[in-house]
Structure 1
């Protein structure tokens, strides 16, 4: 996705979103305003009385059954008392709508109740990461004991699907600002990551259903209430990938060890982690950074990628060198858990 086809894509999506709005109760219908456009296009659908959030799915990213499975998990989490998005049925009683217009293709659409709250403030991030860790533990507790319905299917987030030739987010080799020596460096790191993750394994205590993108941006806080949003990437992965995802785009930050320590404090207030789990954190963090690097290649030219710029790629290469030198051991420099 480049800057030019981003605009073209939005031009194509807007009429489909307008058509989808007509599939719902007239009390919900109104104006549409774009909230974000990355893997999907997300709109607020609003009128004088009510707001809802419409997600227009990217083509060929999730199957119908994968979206159904996401909604199954959200319903199960709500039964546990977690505050997560609630899908709204259309006039036909279906939670997933399919819209199509000649020349614009076909899209799946889901409408969710509006969730009040705001992203945690940049001040006081220690407390925010503790909150995030504790919430992540609640998700993992539920996922481990939940009996998934027959037909449940979601993406798998393993080494091959993140950094392999058929990675869900594209090839890291296509990322911007990389020279051939840079690709050689990253390739060496990718090989070592794969080796260490294969040794760690995918046992039931380490690998299962995860949010996969639970960053602070996907928390909405209102007073003492914390709501979790954006389960679009949920799937099967290493449980501690959720910690790596919490640090997305800031893996190079000087305060990273402190953020990790606070996340772990929150998480370990509910679930315990073994030494082998903790030892794997630098590897999972490095893998996530390179997964994001692959994402910049498929989103080249978009505002999100352009805002990162050359410096972010240079910082990524610095992390790669540190990983080869000492395994990023300094990210675990704070207290034990």
Structure 2
């Protein structure tokens, strides 16, 4: 089957338009091409987002579970996207054939007017991102609202997904791949990280998975997955949502900023905002360095399996030393 080129992806998006009753020649503008192809659609005086999912990333049941979760959050007043159901009531449509690389899931949501993303990973790691700690307080509060709404709604996972538990993070077959397989992680650094993985396992095992610490989370709260709008921050892209530690969302929000000169300020502000909604205890603060390292390890595993891709090479060449430093700090603690 052919690779999903930009041309094929657009043809898939256009095939889906008619399912919602739109003209398949309506203007489409590519907004993002990473795991999924994301387009802006302007039709009937309104603006939408059309998302062509990476083939095989989630089953139909898993994707339906994701969209149900976002709808539950939206109903609770959390700032998340609003999805448009297909005419048959399902959350997405399936299009494609052998010519277009097989079946693909496509969903539709209302465009969120915004002034850009919260930030970006590369300037965060480089230390050049010029963010105010108040940004992190607002983000922390939004994360607290997300987790509080999840508990309040009583949402439970309809179908299993790749959980961000011990096995998903640092098990024998981690959800995003084995970080120790990254070729650049070698010698003393590799041995150090291997020891740190065992420390992470021990701390998270002792921390446990009670409901006030562990449940459905976003799991990919990078700076690119938070939009700035006139009414506040909005969380997007729940592709990797599953059950995990609530702290994992905070760790993801901070991870790329850990090399930043203002990292300590940003961390304090994020936690201050979060605790204004959901207070944490001493055990939460004590285990956070282990959760932060676990987040970093997932990116190394992801990169080990995607060599040649620009983002994977960036992690292997630029971000890796910061992960080693996090591992050393955890062992020295």
TM norm structure 2: 0.87
Is 1:160 aligned to 2:167, yes or no?
A: yes
Per the alignment, residue 235 of structure 1 pairs with 242
Per the alignment, residue 68 of structure 2 pairs with 72
Match of 2:117 among 113, 116, 119: 119
Per the alignment, residue 245 of structure 1 pairs with 252
> Secondary structure of 2:30's match?
strand
Per the alignment, residue 10 of structure 1 pairs with 5
Relative to 1, partners in 2 of residues 1:150 and 1:214: Cα closer, same or farther, differing over 3 Å?
closer
Match of 2:16 among 15, 20, 36: 20
Take 2:38 and 2:304, find their aligned partners in 1: how far apart are those partners? 22
Per the alignment, residue 125 of structure 2 pairs with none
Structure 2: gaps spanning 5 or more residues: 120-128
Take 2:255 and 2:31, find their aligned partners in 1: how far apart are those partners? 20
Per the alignment, residue 213 of structure 1 pairs with 220
Relative to 1, partners in 2 of residues 1:45 and 1:300: Cα closer, same or farther, differing over 3 Å?
farther
Deviation for aligned residue 1:29: 5.7
> Secondary structure of 2:274's match?
helix
Greater CA deviation, 13-22 or 263-272?
A: 13-22
Residue correspondences, number: 320
Take 2:5 and 2:178, find their aligned partners in 1: how far apart are those partners? 24
Greater CA deviation, 79-88 or 169-178?
A: 169-178
Does the CA contact (< 8 Å) of 1:16 and 1:101 recur in 2? no
**1:117-155 deviations in Å (ceiling 9; x for gaps):** 122365343011100110111111111122236835443
Deviation for aligned residue 1:252: 3.0
Take 1:50 and 1:237, find their aligned partners in 2: how far apart are those partners? 36
> Secondary structure of 2:20's match?
coil
Is 1:182 aligned to 2:189, yes or no?
A: yes
Take 2:142 and 2:218, find their aligned partners in 1: how far apart are those partners? 11
> Secondary structure of 2:175's match?
coil
Q: 1:51-200 maps to which residues of 2 (within 5 A)?
A: 51-103=47-99, 104-117=101-114, 118-120=116-118, 122-148=129-155, 151=158, 153-200=160-207
Structure 1: gaps spanning 5 or more residues: 1-6, 327-337
Does the CA contact (< 8 Å) of 2:139 and 2:233 recur in 1? no
> Secondary structure of 2:40's match?
strand
Take 1:168 and 1:79, find their aligned partners in 2: how far apart are those partners? 30
Take 1:150 and 1:207, find their aligned partners in 2: how far apart are those partners? 13
> Secondary structure of 1:44's match?
strand
Per the alignment, residue 280 of structure 1 pairs with 287
TM norm structure 1: 0.86
Take 1:9 and 1:167, find their aligned partners in 2: how far apart are those partners? 26
Take 1:90 and 1:251, find their aligned partners in 2: how far apart are those partners? 41
Take 1:206 and 1:256, find their aligned partners in 2: how far apart are those partners? 24
> Secondary structure of 1:240's match?
helix
Greater CA deviation, 121-130 or 287-296?
A: 121-130
